[in-house]
Structure 1
Amino acid sequence: MSKTVFVIGLGLIGASLAKTMTISHPEHTVYGWDTKIESTHIAKKSGIITQVAPSVAEVAPLADIIILAGPIHTTMQYLHDFQQLTLKPDVLVTDVGSTKYEIATYANTLPFDFIGGHPMAGSHKSGVLAADTLLFENAYFIFTPTSPSQQKRVNELVTLYQETKAKFIVLSPLEHDQITGMLSHLPHIIASGIVNQSDGFNQAHPRAKQLAAGGFRDITRIASSDPVIWTDILLSNRTQLMDLITTWQIQMQQVYQWLDHKDRHAIHHFFESAKETRDAMPIHQPGAIPRFYDLLIDVPDEPGVIATVTAKLAQANISLTNIKILETREDIIGILQVSFKHEADLFLAKDYLTQHTTYPCRIKE
């Protein structure tokens, strides 16, 4: 049965969902709208959507399903504004935000069904032109219904999003925020805090910035996230994060005490426990933080090495997203780190380079 789907917000997530639905459900009419009018027209021209929405107020009353694909505070504003419109009695509204409890609590006061959604996927690219039907493949897509009637309607979204090839999970809004707070939001805060601390340190020690290009840059990679989005996330999950930060502060104070008392046994146990926990984690499964698909290639420090690697990848029609040298010193083997958007490209690149070069390759875990 044909439906009218309205995607509000045509950034990376919204445009990728719209493109997947347009291709996999040709029987549906997929309207799109974005505050950047140019993005909406690009989406229509590119076949990401089937129709351009003149305005939210004109199309929302026609929609069977409305997908709010903007920042959290913007989603809250749309939910408020929808009360002034005459939506279809059985309309289903959903979103793609990174926090769920605040939105779900507010949506429960509204006269239409709202099921929170969170596709745990991302990319280094953004905007409508970055739309990718493979963006959600094997990623977790979480739904957070809050009532029996909403539970029954989750399958409508699963059917709509089926061709994203995501892994669908149902959680309560609170449990969602507790889990993502621990596994995603707190690590972002810690990474950003370390980077900000190092900035002041670099002023006193200029060589530190040069030395930070290797492992330090890798462990703080997530600090490069969009500050507008992350401000929204923190404020909408503030209660959970305040609890988590308090626990983190207590643990760091404990480490401080171990150092002060030169407690070798406690420090060793701290690292041993962390190692055992991390080693037990699944290696090639998606998680709360989007994975980086990196291939480490041992290469000699000689002219033309990078060109050889990139040429081989081009021959195999494999796209890379980033390339950098982790170490190059005279007369030793250096390490070339090549990053890919998809896990499939990572394994293809490893196999192809192993077969067509003499450079040892290994996947970064």
Structure 2
Amino acid sequence: MEINSVSIIGLGLIGGSLTKALKERLNITEIKAVDLNKQSINQALAEGYITKGYTEINEDIYDSDLIFLCTPVKNAIEYINKLSSKVRDNCIITDVASTKCEIVNFINSMDNPPRFIGGHPMAGTEKSGFASSLSHLFENAYYILTPTIGTKEEDIDVMVNIIKRIGGIPIITDAEEHDFVTAAISHVPHIIASTLVNLVGKLDYPDGKMQTLAAGGFKDITRIASSSPELWENVVLSNKQKIRGVLEAFVETLNEFKKYMDDDNAKSINRYFRTAKELRDSLPDNRKGLLISAHEIIVDVVDKPGIIGEIASILGNNGVNIKNINVSNSREFEQGCLRITLPDSDSVKNAVTLLSDRGYKVYKI
């Protein structure tokens, strides 16, 4: 099936990045967009990424070969109700939501379901909106596809081809498995990170000593707690059954560890940490996952005048952009004192090489 006309509903980070990737990498000549934010529409038009822009769906959107729903699940379902009886018979509809059961079950319950295939690109940044979108966002990122009863074999072929051409890695699975996996590796970790931060707020001394010392490793493991509360409210409510099951398993595992401590069971405590270390060390570091990478390095330096400027000059003179640079005051488990935040993984590789070649000890986080 040839794709000539694409509509993007929702020009946020993912929708905007898809728009740019489709334009630049597939050379799609007709890309239409719908977004309530007129500023995003106007920017996409001005930059030449879309041919038409609207604040609501209309006949022009119905006349598309492929429609991406880049909205929360609840909104996507509302759009499907509006689109299903009005789009072309050969139009493929897909979404990008991070939970799949709710929308797939809805499609499967319809009397006359559209040619819908669920999608979930496992990519993102800490920023949002069309202004932050990137055409290379999906490079080396897994892109999950979850077929429905309305999906035809050729629809899967079309989506797999598109995903590969925008740099992603397509994986086909069912919605139940997808939501269980994402509950374990993304949704519950966000809950745990938020719980740790709230715990510090609850247990802290009146002078805020815990918050003062809560830097370094604590900020690393709780970084994802800074994500959008509204986004995670929607995610949790749309995947609460799977999340509940994973949380119960988490609590059970914590209780097992508590028993190890109560019994002074040194062997089991050591095994607990060792198996976690071995599994953590075996995880691939050349693929994007659901949790956004930090893109940070730690540099072991001596505190002397001009040292920060020296390192900044080395990186800047070689085209490496620094997003943030600061001295880590709480670094009990870190191997250096200068923490540098960079924009992407390529910048991390370049920075490590440049600084290591000049004799600095550099560690990737």
TM-score w.r.t. structure 2 length? 0.91
Aligned to 2:24: 23
Q: Quick one: which amino acid aligns to residue 220 of structure 2?
A: D
User: Of residues 294, 297, 302 in structure 2, which corresponds to 1:295?
Assistant: 297
1:241 aligns with 2:252: no
Q: More deviation in 230-239 or 204-213?
A: 204-213
Question: In structure 2, the residue corresponding to 1:300 is in which secondary structure?
Answer: coil
Q: More deviation in 200-209 or 180-189?
A: 200-209
Structure 2 gaps, min length 5: none
Q: More deviation in 285-294 or 132-141?
A: 285-294
1:50 aligns with 2:75: no
1:154 deviates by: 1.4
1:338 deviates by: 1.8
1:248 deviates by: 1.1
The C-alpha deviation readout for 1:287-309, integer Å capped at 9, x for no partner, is 33232222221122123222222
The C-alpha deviation readout for 1:154-183, integer Å capped at 9, x for no partner, is 121233343321111111111111111111
2: CA distance, partners of 1:141 / 1:322: 30
8 A Cα contact 2:4 2:65, kept in partner: yes
1:282 aligns with 2:284: yes
2: CA distance, partners of 1:74 / 1:224: 24
1:334 deviates by: 4.7
1:81 deviates by: 2.4
8 A Cα contact 2:22 2:28, kept in partner: no
1:54 deviates by: 5.6
Aligned to 1:93: 93
8 A Cα contact 1:93 1:113, kept in partner: yes
1: CA distance, partners of 2:44 / 2:132: 11
Equivalent positions of 1:144-183 (< 5 A) are: 144-147=146-149, 149-183=151-185
TM-score w.r.t. structure 1 length? 0.91
1:263 to 1:160, Cα distance in 2 relative to 1, 3 A: closer
1:54 to 1:277, Cα distance in 2 relative to 1, 3 A: closer
8 A Cα contact 2:17 2:137, kept in partner: yes
1:313 deviates by: 1.9
Aligned to 2:42: 41
1:195 to 1:28, Cα distance in 2 relative to 1, 3 A: same
1:127 aligns with 2:129: yes
2: CA distance, partners of 1:264 / 1:45: 64
1:204 deviates by: 4.2
Aligned to 2:77: 76
Computed over aligned residues only, the root mean square deviation of the Cα atoms, in angstroms, reads 2.1
1:183 to 1:2, Cα distance in 2 relative to 1, 3 A: closer
Q: Quick one: which amino acid aligns to residue 43 of structure 1?
A: A
Q: Quick one: which amino acid aligns to residue 163 of structure 1?
A: R
Identity in percent: 32
2: CA distance, partners of 1:27 / 1:179: 33
Q: More deviation in 136-145 or 151-160?
A: 151-160
The C-alpha deviation readout for 1:244-272, integer Å capped at 9, x for no partner, is 11111122222223333333333222222
1: CA distance, partners of 2:17 / 2:101: 25
1:197 aligns with 2:183: no
User: Of residues 300, 303, 310 in structure 2, which corresponds to 1:308?
Assistant: 310
2: CA distance, partners of 1:12 / 1:141: 15
1:325 deviates by: 2.1
1:130 to 1:78, Cα distance in 2 relative to 1, 3 A: same
8 A Cα contact 1:118 1:142, kept in partner: yes
User: Of residues 261, 266, 269 in structure 2, which corresponds to 1:267?
Assistant: 269
1: CA distance, partners of 2:267 / 2:354: 46
8 A Cα contact 1:137 1:165, kept in partner: yes
Q: Quick one: which amino acid aligns to residue 56 of structure 1?
A: I
Structure 1 gaps, min length 5: none
1:335 deviates by: 2.0
Question: In structure 1, the residue corresponding to 2:246 is in which secondary structure?
Answer: helix
1:241 deviates by: 0.8
8 A Cα contact 2:98 2:235, kept in partner: yes
8 A Cα contact 1:22 1:50, kept in partner: no
Equivalent positions of 1:104-115 (< 5 A) are: 104-108=104-108, 109=110, 110-115=112-117
